[in-house]
Amino acid sequence: PKSGLTFKVGSPGPFKVVGMESRLVQVFQNLITNAFSFSPDGGQIGVEIRRDGAWIVATVEDEGPGIPAGGLAKIFDRFYSERPEGERFGTHSGLGLSISRQIVEAHSGHIRAENRTGTSGAVTGARFVVTIPTA
């Protein structure tokens, strides 16, 4: 079990989007669950939602190990899974991010993954950005 995680949420909302609420909730459950899984004890998970013109941009960040360079291109592929360090078996089926991409694209949106980097250029975690049109 994780201990001492900080969960930080920022949003000047509320915002309106057109879509299936249960499916959009599923996207953020997947992203936040992954952030929780990969964050170290005492780490921080950040969620920020903002408006950018006709788009809502939601970002989920963690302070985990980031995504391996070879994994960025296939992170949304079905059955692709990176395991948290030290975990040989677990509940990571490799479907959550693939399903999330399908849901976001069905809502005329986009999702991308990238590594966060610190001032030294070292990877300081992963960042997932979801962009969907406003209502």
pLDDT of residue 66: 92
Domain-located, residue 1:
no
Read off the pLDDT of residues 10-62 as tens digits, 9 standing for 90 and up.
998 889 998 999 999 999 999 999 999 889 999 999 999 999 999 999 999 99
Residue 128 has pLDDT above 60, yes or no: yes
Domain-located, residue 92:
yes
> CB 135: neighbour CB atoms within 10 A?
9
Edge-first strand listing for the sheet containing 123-133: 6-10, 44-52, 55-61, 123-133, 110-117
Contacts of residue 93, Cβ cutoff 8 Å, sequence gap at least 6: 79, 81
Residue 125 region, left (φ>0) first, then alpha (ψ -120 to 50), else beta? left
pLDDT of residue 84: 53
> CB 107: neighbour CB atoms within 10 A?
19
CATH number of the domain to which 14 belongs: 3.30.565.10
Domain that holds residue 101: 6-133
Domain-located, residue 110:
yes
Residue 89 has pLDDT above 50, yes or no: no
**Residue 57 host element (H or E):** strand 55-61
Q: Which residues of 45-70 are buried (b: 16+ CB within 10 A; e: fewer)?
A: bbbebeeeeebbbbbbbbbbbbbeee
Q: Provide the domain count of the chain.
A: 1
Domain-located, residue 122:
yes
Domain-located, residue 80:
yes
pLDDT of residue 110: 98
Domain-located, residue 89:
yes
| Residue scoring higher pLDDT (128 or 72) | 128
Task: Read off the pLDDT of each residue in 113-128 and give the average, rounded to a whole number.
Answer: 93
Domain-located, residue 117:
yes
Residue 79 has pLDDT above 70, yes or no: yes
Domain-located, residue 90:
yes
pLDDT of residue 92: 61
Q: Return the residue matching tokens 């991308």.
A: 112
